[in-house]
Amino acid sequence: MPSRMLGSPAPVSVVIPILNEAKTLPDLLNALACQSRLPREVIFVDAGSTDRGSELIGAWWKLQGWRDGRCLVLSRPGAYPGAGRNMGIEFATWDWVAFLDGGMTPDPDWLASLLRFVEVRRVQSVFGICRFWGEGVFCNALCALSCGQGALRPVLPASLFRKEVFKEVGLFPPDLRAAEDVVWLSRHLAVYGRKDVCPEALVHYRHFPETWDRALSKWYLYSVNVAKSGSFPIQQAAYILCVALAVIGVVIKPWVVLPLLPVYVVTRGVLEPMRRSTPGRWWGGTRGAIGVALGLGPVLDATKTAGFIAGNILKAIRLFKS
């Protein structure tokens, strides 16, 4: 375990919504205990786990808990991530609130880097960076197709905010199963006009769905909630229009459209992941991932489009009823 910085823990409450994360919790918990700047408070908000994750957290704190710190496990059955974060903010006792998600692993200097940034820049919020990495043939392909293998992106569940920020911006939408961070980030940008990013505040995410059905279910639910939230309207329209044109083309002039399908499959399954990933040869030593990506890419696009359509229908029904 790396040596910790001397002095009291930082006046920060780390909020982590969880649901059946027992498989990924050990890496996250160990990483928290290894922070060079420890938080005063770690708050887990459990949405109704059935895998004894809460017991895991209790045993961890007994073994690795630090002086002048505390760990809470709050129960909120059925809570979506936004509602879980809102509950954590409500119970947080310190002026600064940081977020992590289950499945993430922060570097030892993650929190210290965020704190140095706000102290030097005198800002109210700072976003950390997530490095995405899929391990194994299927997860490698899925990561490359979605985020990009090895890609670095600023994300909300790696970031630090003063509690006053939530009075200005508001809390997270509690009724969205996904994309609640997209909605909140757009509000944050509207209020503050910029997004300060700390490149040194690094977390890692490598727990991608390992099977086709779980991957497609996740992508479908995410797309439905993006549509319900009204986010990315241009992207939604582009997906729906492209699929509609492809179907119409196959029906009316199949000899024109069908020869273009191999071009689309290769572009989506190999070239586009190369653009997203770092390094560009995203498959590394697992060349079988290329074969998986060639089939998975078009299916993900079709699933995403179906989610956009379903989400917009649900949104229209809700508006009609109101």
pLDDT of residue 7: 67
**C-alpha triplet 160, 163, 169: angle, nearest 5°:** 90
pLDDT tens figures, 121-166: 999 999 999 999 999 999 999 999 999 999 999 999 999 999 999 9
Residue 5 has pLDDT above 70, yes or no: no
Which of 155, 170, 205 lies at the terminal end of a domain, its last residue? 205
CB distance 133 to 151 below 8 Å: no
Q: Please state, in angstroms and rounded to a whole number, the distance separating the CA atoms of residues 81 and 172.
A: 9
Q: What integer is the mean pLDDT of 57-67?
A: 95
Choose between 1 and 319: higher pLDDT: 319
Biggest distance spanned by C-alpha atoms of the chain: 72
If asked whether residues 185 and 239 sit together in one domain, one would say no
CB atoms under 10 Å from CB of 174, counted, come to 16
Which whole-number Å values give the CA distances from 266 to 31, 277, 318, in the listed order? Answer: 39, 16, 39
If asked whether residues 264 and 171 sit together in one domain, one would say no
Residue 8 has pLDDT above 90, yes or no: no
Residue 308 has pLDDT above 90, yes or no: yes
If asked whether residues 94 and 160 sit together in one domain, one would say yes
Residue 3 has pLDDT above 60, yes or no: no
pLDDT tens figures, 208-229: 999 999 999 999 999 999 999 9
- How are beta strands 125-132 and 152-162 bridged, if at all? antiparallel
| Cis ω for the linkage preceding 262 (within 30 of 0) | no
Position 1 confidence tier, pLDDT thresholds 50, 70, 90: very low
Tokens in use for 296? Answer: 């998975």
CB distance 41 to 92 below 8 Å: yes
Residue 57 has pLDDT above 50, yes or no: yes
pLDDT of residue 321: 87
The pTM of the full predicted model, rounded to 2 decimals, is 0.93
3-class state of residue 158 by DSSP: strand
Helix, strand, coil shares of the chain as percentages rounded to 5? 50, 20, 30
Give the sheet arrangement for strand 125-132, strand by strand: 70-75, 39-46, 10-18, 96-99, 152-162, 125-132, 197-205, 104-106
If asked whether residues 104 and 251 sit together in one domain, one would say no
The amino acid that residue 139 corresponds to is C
Position 45 confidence tier, pLDDT thresholds 50, 70, 90: very high
Residue ranges making up the domain that contains 309: 212-321
Choose between 252 and 3: higher pLDDT: 252
CB distance 178 to 219 below 8 Å: no
If asked whether residues 189 and 281 sit together in one domain, one would say no
Burial per residue of 135-162, b for 16 or more beta-carbon CB atoms within 10 angstroms, e otherwise? eebbbbbbbbbbbbbbbeebbbbbbbbe
Q: Please state, in angstroms and rounded to a whole number, the distance separating the CA atoms of residues 165 and 257.
A: 51
The amino acid that residue 311 corresponds to is G
pLDDT of residue 284: 85
Instruction: Give percent of the chain above pLDDT 90.
Output: 89
Residue 242 C-alpha from the chain's centroid: 27
CB distance 136 to 286 below 8 Å: yes
Q: Please state, in angstroms and rounded to a whole number, the distance separating the CA atoms of residues 233 and 175.
A: 19
If asked whether residues 201 and 239 sit together in one domain, one would say no
Residue 281 has pLDDT above 50, yes or no: yes
If asked whether residues 23 and 150 sit together in one domain, one would say yes
Number of domains in the chain: 2
Residue 234 has pLDDT above 50, yes or no: yes
**C-alpha triplet 67, 70, 73: angle, nearest 5°:** 150
Position 2 confidence tier, pLDDT thresholds 50, 70, 90: very low
pLDDT of residue 256: 85
pLDDT tens figures, 11-38: 999 999 999 999 999 999 999 999 999 9
If asked whether residues 87 and 180 sit together in one domain, one would say yes
If asked whether residues 168 and 263 sit together in one domain, one would say no
Q: Please state, in angstroms and rounded to a whole number, the distance separating the CA atoms of residues 174 and 86.
A: 8
Which of 186, 205, 224 lies at the terminal end of a domain, its last residue? 205
Q: Which residues pair with 10 in a beta bridge?
A: 39
Residue 76 has pLDDT above 90, yes or no: yes
If asked whether residues 262 and 187 sit together in one domain, one would say no
pLDDT tens figures, 88-109: 999 999 999 999 999 999 999 9
